[in-house]
Structure 1
Amino acid sequence: MPPRIAPRGAGGGPRAAQARVADHVTTIGVRRPEPGKAGTPMEVITNHFRVKIPDTIIHHYDVVISPSQDFPIRLNMELVTRLQTVVAKEIFTPRAVYDGRKNLFAARELPFGPGVKSREFEFPLNVRPSDAKDPRGPKLFKITLTKVAEINPEVLIRFLQGKQSHDNMVLTAITALNVIIRMEPTLKYPFNVRSFFTDKETKSIGGGIDLWRGYFQSVRPARDTMLINIDISTGAMFKPGPLLNLCADFLRKGNRPPPTPAQLAPRAGFPDRERLRLQRFLFGVRVTVVTDSAESGPRAPRVIKKISEAGANDLMFELREGRRLSVASYYRETYNKSLKYPDLPCVLVGSGAWIPLEICVVPKGQIMRKQVPSELTKDVLDFATKQPQERLNSIRNGLSVLAYEKSEYVKHFGMKLESEDPMKIKSRVLAPPTLKYGPGSRQPTIMPRDGSWNMVDKKFYQPAKVEGWIIVIYENQGRFGDAKVRGLIDGLVRGCEEVGISGMDRNPVVRWENGQGNVIEQLKAAGLAMKTAQNRFPGLIVAILPDGGNDIYTKIKHFGDVMTGVTTQCLKSAKAAGARPQYFANVCLKLNVKLGGINTIPDARSVPFLSDVNNPTVVIGADVIHPAPGSQGRPSFTSVVASVDSSTSKYIATTRVQTSRQEIIEDLQEMCKYVIDMSCKYRKNVEKKSIIFPKRIIFYRDGVSEGQFRTVLDEEIPKIKAACRELGMKDLPKITVVVVGKRHHVRFFPMAPSQGDKSGNCRAGTVVDTDVSHPTEFDFYLLSHGGLLGTSRPAHYSVLYDENGFSSDGMQQLSFALCHVYARATRSVSIPAPVYYADIVCSRAKNHYAPGQHGFEFDDSGTAAMSDPAQQQKTLQEFKSRFMPLHTSTALKMYFS
């Protein structure tokens, strides 16, 4: 359990008295300290609205739907809507709200009868008229409602005032309020968890995908009040209309015309790999069937499972009477429907029927729950990105779509927005840390401004030395010839000299290679060419890649990071050709740390907590990355990154494979032991320090939802401590655990343009720890980076465990300082550098698989469903066994920069 009252410590001073949170209140994380005082006070606008909550009892019912509890939420909502509006209308007056799964909330007790707490309802869901050819008749459903609790809003009020623990009663009350505000839009629009989407603003981006503008809404507790957080969001939808058009749009290559129906026919040589790719994309899509039959009314959508290998003319099946015929013949005989394209494939739907592709229609508003292909990501970002003032206006306009004042559900429960104006709240702008560069710099220290600074006339704090280098070019020699190579060499050598990197030969070995060939063997041959020419192997390989050279990139990284330990730096040919000095300066930022150098460090006076020589500190970042939505049988990857030097600017990393979609890090003990041991060795062997073991550990954890905070406390903290014991520490270091959240919809906007930066966003260093923060726990929002495109998102920090006694100011200033030591840029970043590095390390875990291991390149595009648990476990073990560790030389460097 985290300490409820932290001891005095060096984390910014003693913990302030907990006057506001009652003594008997328990928290999951650390209890809230007094708000911070450092920085310049500034009022900002936020996308929150105060809401009046119900003042009467809310009645909570458990919902069981038979014959299956695994129906899609959409179908469950249809069933409960029919129950309330047709089957038992007199009982549901006013109507209750339903979350689509297990929870139903009513503004009054449902009149089941005196003393009756449970009732069953059985009825058909008439989606279409009964088909005379179907003797089974309409399907019957049974819904059982059981009263489980009464929610008194007084519990919620006490929680907001800091007089009530965050228990199940509070959690259920907040859930009920969210279900109330979402009920109306859920019935009217396509929805995805907490967002719903309308077709008032759309964009087709190709690949069979349309984008729809949506609105996010969530009821959140804050200090002394409940708030609704409202934001705009983006939904990817399957392109509506004939399924044939959707397929052609998905299969279209670049700017070429889409394939014709004839080209999609198996008889015409439609490639099986393309069929499987299309099958993965269409898996789960609902379609309606058009037969032009006079007796067929509106039919329930069917769900696509597979695409046939044969066309409708060749795909045979057996009728009940035993006769065999083709799908095309069946539709001609049964529905008098002659197919226009009888050679096209069919789709297998959930009922087991094969339906000709050409008579399927995709209904409007179907959310695509798979990952958008990487080549379309820019289109999604262009659509989703809005400048701050434009986003704020959209949020204001969204209130007319949300229309809380018109929702019968919101009215019946007594909820109401207190104002339609976004809240104005208090913030502070923290001073940035002073950064220190190396000897020979004209300006050895610098103070960032609006989250950025420049390196003009500055040398790296610790410049690296290059032990020979070569250039391997995977671009056509006609497009990247000798003149461009000479420009590249001159620009890169000059850039290295200006920042202090030494050893860059002006006449490196240069080779042109074909990216379709064996990249690994080509790199080996290039290294041998240098050995022949200079009697040494290269310490650096610079590779020039063409557009779309991702496969080549992965193979080069595998060669360098895993096989040989040689530092590799890939450059895109379009950017490297004729690049300006600023481009090469940015490349040098990466090169220096990859080669073992240090770019810049925070001045000791800016981070006294980190620079205390008597209390060495290790800062750790940890993350987990999961396979793409829709992928099954693919593992998750974990990473742990830790500082090794006294200035917390040099980091070491380790990564592992683990069970798919599991958030808690399985191998955390082993991973922490490794990185802490590496830090101890660096302090001893490189820095020659007398105190080897860390006295303090700051553990920043990425990617954990609020519902998993308790699990982190119970499972991950003991593993960190166990790792320290294994290393022989008698006095365990004091540990602070902070969860860094990025996936939220909280935004801040300056009150006036003069109060923002040049992008229109709030200034770097803007921190909010009142008004929209947790009622009882230690959390804050910090916007640590300068704006570039769109509206900046602050990071949300939740302090779960703290043995170092941090004050609000101490934790906020430390976190802000760590956002300035990210080696790849002369800008502060949105989250502390070790967390950012951990995210990068996870994403590069696919480079640990040997190229050419069929099926074991980490496929982000999704795979066919793999429902067998035994097969999933076998696949996971294969992924683990084929995962190769870093080369021992790479493991000592910041290869992930």
Structure 2
Amino acid sequence: MGPRPAGAGGRGRGGPSRGGPPTRGGAAAGASGGGSAVYTTSPHVTTVGVKRTAFGTSGRRMEVYTNHFAVKIPEAVIHHYDVISPSEKTLPARLNMELITTLQLKVAANIFTPRAVYDGRKNLFAARELPFGPNTPSREFEVEFNKKTYKIRLTKVAEINPEVLARFLEGKQSHDNAVLTAITALNVVIRMEPTLNYPFNVRSFFTDKETKDIGSGIVLWRGYFQSIRPAIGRMLINVDISTGTMYKSGSLLKLCLEFVGRSDQPLALAPRRGFPDRERLRLQRFISGIRILTKTPGEGQQSRTPRVLKKLSTAGASDLTFTMREGGTMTVAEYFQKTYNMRLQFPEVLCAEVGSGALIPLELCVVPPGQIMRKQVPPEKTKDVLDFATKRPEDRLQSIRNGLSVLQYGQSEYVRQFGMVVDEAAGALTINARVLDTPTLRYGKGSRQPTIVRVSEFFLIDKKFYSPASIDKWVVVVYERQQRFNANNVREMVEGFVAACRDVGMVVKDPNPIVRWENGQGNIGAQLREAGKECMTKTGSPPSLIVAVLPEGGTDIYTAIKHFGDITMGVATQCLKSSRCFRAKPQYYANVSLKLNVKLGGINTIPDPPSAPFLTDPNNPTIVMGADVIHPAPGSEGRPSFTSLVANVDSDTAKYIAASRVQTSRQEIIEDLGDMAHHMLDMYMKYRRGVEKKANPVPKRIIFYRDGVSEGQFKQVLDLVDSRRVLEACQKLNIKPTITVVVVGKRHHVRFFPKNPSDGDRKSGNCPAGTVIDRDVAHPTEFDFYLQSHGGLLGTSRPAHYNVLYDENNLTPDGLQSLSFALCHVYARSTRSVSIPAPVYYADIVCTRAKNHYDPNERLDFSDSATNLEEGAADQSLDKFKRGFKPLHQKMTTLMYFS
């Protein structure tokens, strides 16, 4: 239905082990931390990362629940088939599932008894060999669905013997393609039932039993994640709750009005009534790709086949003309009047253009329920999503247990026919954990306690920074209206700010800065430059610090300020929210001082050497690096990925520098890692030689933490080591440090819950900071562990998963666990231990700040939902982003500007 313009038509993880003795340079002894329990895998087993040879033993013992359930794996052979639709391009997974369901139930029910399971793409698994006939491994079927015929060819490609999987779980088999395929098959088995019955997204599915309307046309649904995971000696199912963001069902017109914030004004979407093109594009980005049904005018019925919305028209139905096949032109409104004798209620409102080219008035479009929004959630709705998703540990564990009644493994015909048995009666597994000793930190002279064991939370009372910085001349620029943030507000802010800095040992030479009020709609760079000139005129020297007071929603102002300070002028900037400055408590400014001190070259705290001997060993200088890659949001076309590398330059692993680059979109390998690593190593040696006056400036050890890698990308990251980018940087500098590479993952659904509530964090109920698990749910053959290094504030904390990919330092499990835990305590911006080692955290921050390297006046579009949907849209190619990426100002290359 609807007018058509003329011409419209319808990881394999095999490979050699990277463990064992160092390959060059003579590795130092493993990190201290006590003895480790020996673990033995078969000698012939190879791993992608370092082979596990031991377990950790240090720390206090504790029992925890985990969101895993034991599962008995099949005993019979599983038959693997490749699925091809020769006559079709790539189809949506949901349509593929419907085609295979039709094939099994209607087209060839006699062949598919019992029914096979399908992953929605290429893989189909059967509990028995499909009877295609003697010596016939392949067969083609014709499936009619929604009045269209699809050809589907199934070809047998392998038989999976579960014995291979059993041997892998016992440490007697490498994690090769056969094991990977077996695990994939079991995952498809457990997901088949819910995938057929509920909206799904990769490994999660969602139900409408618990929902929340958060406005802007978005409704949240509670979902369940499930994944088969290999563990030491057994197979487990990892079950967790998840959150689905859904388009609000019902009228598409109402959904659009909600998104633009004009729910009761349909004509707000009429270009003739002043609906701006900028807002039309923003709305188009939000709803492009949505499936819609159409109402039949006069009959009130809906079409059965959904159509995909491609874009919005630039004019309303009464102004939008098209050429008819028989010749002549007509407006969309006239078409519906002539064809259906229907006068549109809102003829001035936009139309939806669907994939076939048809133009349909928004008032005739209906959004079916359960449609996942695969776009970035608008920033203003992030808190609503977090509120819905966040549950205290005891509540989350109960929701997971309740989820078994939805999953119903025992009732699933697919789970039963493949011979899998989930031990639901035993409930969530109880496993053993250890709580590591908290490292001791050292503060500066004048502190009441020069060293302190940092618990999960404390304040800066009576503590001085280890190396406090000095504030010489500074200016305050207020971007809030003077009526809202007047001279008295500024005086109170300055007094609180100065007092907090002095309390922690920082020197503020001039407690009366220059103050200016500016308009945030103006040229921010020019305004800050004028503030600097005024400081120069009045004091004889430029400011070493610019403090900016921002209004709510001042994101663009913030970006422009950071570009001016970090890129253009090389001056430290500190942004404060005006709302936080009103009658702010001393702790607020104390938290600000944490960021400010390191931006100005100071050091807040260092690990006490006895607590981190591997990091502070004077005979084996160690550089710790953190690397990250951040990709554009789903649906964002033309946006690049950003990379970063962060490393310490001092002997106490507390003072870090950073480098950032722009590269090919969604590429996991860091293209410029070699150049960035060369810069870090060079700066490390210059600092030790020139500032610390060390006789041995050359690093002997490198600990390289890599963030943001999923399990399926391990091999890619290993290629990062194979290509020797870091090693090549060392060779150019003629140094030979030994290297350890550790992947730190947070994109998983493993959770731990204290079995005894008294063992948990007293405020959040989470496992205490320092909880480590390297046995029951760990990998059968590789050196990995989970470390929950923070107590958490809200909800259930997620432990970090550490996987050692490469090790020339012969680190023991206890040594690497204590080393990583210590690094979680030296994060400069927090008075609590954080969830991942500080250099990894910094690398993540540097990536998110990469957009600040672009001149804000050039107006490159960095919105997460940005996509070039319009013909003639500006070419925002990778080359353009690379050309526009400005280098860091020389003065900032030695400072923690990113803090």
Mapped to 1, the partners of 2:402 and 2:841 lie a distance apart of 34
What displacement does 1:211 show? 0.6
**Does residue 818 of structure 2 align to residue 803 of structure 1?**
no
Instruction: Please identify, of 329-338 and 175-184, the stretch whose mean Cα deviation from structure 2 is larger.
Output: 329-338
Mapped to 2, the partners of 1:772 and 1:377 lie a distance apart of 32
Secondary structure of the structure 2 residue equivalent to 1:861: coil
Mapped to 1, the partners of 2:536 and 2:376 lie a distance apart of 45
**Does residue 735 of structure 2 align to residue 726 of structure 1?**
no
Q: Which amino acid is 1:10 matched to?
A: A
Aligned equivalent of 2:29: 10
1:611–1:296 Cα change, 3 Å: closer
Aligned equivalent of 2:746: 742
Aligned equivalent of 2:202: 193
Aligned equivalent of 2:76: 56
Aligned equivalent of 2:96: 76
Mapped to 2, the partners of 1:865 and 1:400 lie a distance apart of 43
Q: Which amino acid is 1:893 matched to?
A: L
Mapped to 2, the partners of 1:115 and 1:395 lie a distance apart of 46
Q: Which amino acid is 1:896 matched to?
A: F
Mapped to 2, the partners of 1:797 and 1:653 lie a distance apart of 22
Aligned equivalent of 1:878: 880
Mapped to 2, the partners of 1:777 and 1:679 lie a distance apart of 32
Aligned equivalent of 2:192: 183
- Does the 8 A contact of 1:437 with 1:461 survive in 2? yes
- Does the 8 A contact of 1:49 with 1:418 survive in 2? yes
Aligned equivalent of 1:35: 55
What displacement does 1:69 show? 4.0
Residues 94-105 of structure 1 aligned to structure 2 (within 5 Å): 94-105=114-125
Aligned equivalent of 2:243: 234
Q: Which amino acid is 1:217 matched to?
A: Q
- Deviation string 1:25-55 (CA, Å, 9 cap, x unpaired) is 0000000121101000111000000001111
Mapped to 2, the partners of 1:379 and 1:301 lie a distance apart of 29
**Does residue 106 of structure 2 align to residue 86 of structure 1?**
yes
Aligned equivalent of 2:602: 597
Aligned equivalent of 1:688: 693
Residue in structure 2 matching 1:142, options 136, 145, 151: 151
1:504–1:259 Cα change, 3 Å: farther
Secondary structure of the structure 1 residue equivalent to 2:220: strand
**Does residue 352 of structure 2 align to residue 337 of structure 1?**
no
- Does the 8 A contact of 2:36 with 2:814 survive in 1? no
Q: Which amino acid is 1:607 matched to?
A: A
Aligned equivalent of 1:404: 409
Mapped to 1, the partners of 2:320 and 2:728 lie a distance apart of 61
- Does the 8 A contact of 1:387 with 1:791 survive in 2? yes
What displacement does 1:292 show? 3.8
- Deviation string 1:363-396 (CA, Å, 9 cap, x unpaired) is 0011001000111100100000000000000000
Mapped to 1, the partners of 2:680 and 2:223 lie a distance apart of 43
What displacement does 1:19 show? 4.9
Residue in structure 2 matching 1:860, options 854, 858, 864: 864
Aligned equivalent of 1:20: 40
What displacement does 1:297 show? 7.0
Residues 558-569 of structure 1 aligned to structure 2 (within 5 Å): 558-569=563-574
What displacement does 1:476 show? 1.2
Aligned equivalent of 2:166: 157
Instruction: Please identify, of 482-491 and 648-657, the stretch whose mean Cα deviation from structure 2 is larger.
Output: 482-491
Aligned equivalent of 2:213: 204
Q: Which amino acid is 1:155 matched to?
A: V
Aligned equivalent of 1:428: 434
- Does the 8 A contact of 1:635 with 1:658 survive in 2? yes
What displacement does 1:629 show? 1.3
Instruction: Please identify, of 63-72 and 42-51, the stretch whose mean Cα deviation from structure 2 is larger.
Output: 63-72
Q: Which amino acid is 1:213 matched to?
A: R
Q: Which amino acid is 1:877 matched to?
A: D
What displacement does 1:613 show? 1.0
What displacement does 1:165 show? 0.3
What displacement does 1:456 show? 1.4
Mapped to 2, the partners of 1:295 and 1:835 lie a distance apart of 57
Secondary structure of the structure 2 residue equivalent to 1:824: coil
Mapped to 2, the partners of 1:871 and 1:535 lie a distance apart of 45
- Does the 8 A contact of 1:18 with 1:32 survive in 2? no
What displacement does 1:18 show? 6.4
- Does the 8 A contact of 2:479 with 2:550 survive in 1? yes
Secondary structure of the structure 1 residue equivalent to 2:128: coil
Mapped to 1, the partners of 2:28 and 2:431 lie a distance apart of 30
Secondary structure of the structure 2 residue equivalent to 1:889: helix
**Does residue 290 of structure 2 align to residue 306 of structure 1?**
no
1:71–1:754 Cα change, 3 Å: same
Q: TM-score, normalised by structure 1?
A: 0.96
Secondary structure of the structure 1 residue equivalent to 2:857: coil
Aligned equivalent of 1:130: none
What displacement does 1:76 show? 0.5
Aligned equivalent of 1:753: 757
Residues 437-516 of structure 1 aligned to structure 2 (within 5 Å): 437-449=443-455, 451-516=456-521
- Does the 8 A contact of 2:238 with 2:749 survive in 1? yes
- Does the 8 A contact of 1:655 with 1:842 survive in 2? yes
Instruction: Please identify, of 471-480 and 179-188, the stretch whose mean Cα deviation from structure 2 is larger.
Output: 471-480
Mapped to 1, the partners of 2:176 and 2:345 lie a distance apart of 62
Q: Which amino acid is 1:12 matched to?
A: A
Residues 286-297 of structure 1 aligned to structure 2 (within 5 Å): 286-292=291-297
Mapped to 1, the partners of 2:102 and 2:402 lie a distance apart of 32
Q: Which amino acid is 1:250 matched to?
A: F
Aligned equivalent of 2:354: 349
What displacement does 1:296 show? 7.2
Residue in structure 2 matching 1:578, options 583, 588, 598: 583
Residue in structure 1 matching 2:144, options 121, 124, 144: 124
1:857–1:557 Cα change, 3 Å: farther
Q: Which amino acid is 2:706 matched to?
A: R
Aligned equivalent of 2:592: 587
1:19–1:493 Cα change, 3 Å: closer
What displacement does 1:357 show? 1.1
What displacement does 1:123 show? 2.7
Instruction: Please identify, of 502-511 and 684-693, the stretch whose mean Cα deviation from structure 2 is larger.
Output: 502-511
Mapped to 1, the partners of 2:83 and 2:256 lie a distance apart of 39
Mapped to 2, the partners of 1:277 and 1:743 lie a distance apart of 29
Residue in structure 2 matching 1:112, options 118, 132, 144: 132
**Does residue 625 of structure 2 align to residue 607 of structure 1?**
no
- Deviation string 1:342-374 (CA, Å, 9 cap, x unpaired) is 111111101111111110000001100100011
- Deviation string 1:265-311 (CA, Å, 9 cap, x unpaired) is 12212111111111111110000000146597742100001111111
- Does the 8 A contact of 1:291 with 1:337 survive in 2? no
Secondary structure of the structure 1 residue equivalent to 2:124: strand
- Does the 8 A contact of 1:105 with 1:176 survive in 2? yes
**Does residue 535 of structure 2 align to residue 547 of structure 1?**
no
Secondary structure of the structure 1 residue equivalent to 2:742: strand
1:320–1:66 Cα change, 3 Å: farther
Aligned equivalent of 2:892: 890
Mapped to 2, the partners of 1:118 and 1:429 lie a distance apart of 55
- Does the 8 A contact of 1:785 with 1:828 survive in 2? yes
Q: TM-score, normalised by structure 2?
A: 0.95
Q: CA RMSD in A?
A: 1.7
- Deviation string 1:722-781 (CA, Å, 9 cap, x unpaired) is 01111122xx11000000000110000001211101111100000000000000000000
Q: Which amino acid is 1:883 matched to?
A: F
What displacement does 1:223 show? 0.3
What displacement does 1:4 show? 3.2
Q: Which amino acid is 1:461 matched to?
A: Y
- Deviation string 1:515-569 (CA, Å, 9 cap, x unpaired) is 1111111111111111111111100011000101111000100010001111000
What displacement does 1:190 show? 0.4
What displacement does 1:155 show? 0.4
Residues 321-332 of structure 1 aligned to structure 2 (within 5 Å): 321-332=326-337
Mapped to 1, the partners of 2:752 and 2:38 lie a distance apart of 28
What displacement does 1:318 show? 2.4
Aligned equivalent of 2:847: 842
- Does the 8 A contact of 1:15 with 1:806 survive in 2? no
Q: Which amino acid is 1:5 matched to?
A: G
Mapped to 2, the partners of 1:296 and 1:398 lie a distance apart of 36
